[in-house]
Structure 1
Amino acid sequence: MSNSTIEEITLSKYEQKFKALSDKHRLKIICELNQRGKVCVCDLTDMLELPQSKLSYHLKMLLEANIILMERIGKWNYYELNDEEIKGLLSEKLCCIFYPNSKT
């Protein structure tokens, strides 16, 4: 696999992550999960005052970008932040793409 192909794949992954972060509702979801830890989808609906269908759409975007994690417990889905992904998103991982020769 060539370097340009690897760069395209990496850039596409970051594009997906930043698209997921570029919405006010999704940022609110992230804030709630950051404050509360693992939260049931039923509670998120009430906290964010969003219809279930809209909330599901936003959660799907965040899941696909690996920004949040989901665990099914009984009949409910519980969501939490993917701390490793959040912490690394704007730190060394991103710096290595834009400053590959830098010693960070």
Structure 2
Amino acid sequence: MKVKQLPKICFWLGIVVFIVAVILPEDSFQMVSVLGKVMGELKPVGLATIFLLPIIGIVGVISSIMDKSVLYGILNGTLILSFPLMMVVSNIVQALF
């Protein structure tokens, strides 16, 4: 795998992980008893935005700095800030509706 493609791959992988987390049912971690005890009441979107997407975003930002790609650096930066962005969007949607 070329280093030039790593920022693109990280960004699109993050988008796919987020879409899959939105599609998964909210109680999917309670089906597996051990994982449900470890994760507690954490939903798939919470797991993705708190843990998975920032890790993917950090790898993407580091590789985009090495590749000098500003666009994918900013896009991978949004993956790092996905949890605060989701909080802001949900508060705006709640205020409007």
- TM-score, reference length from structure 1: 0.32
Q: Counting strand residues as a fraction of each chain, which structure ranks higher? A: 1
Q: Counting helix residues as a fraction of each chain, which structure ranks higher? A: 2
- TM-score, reference length from structure 2: 0.33
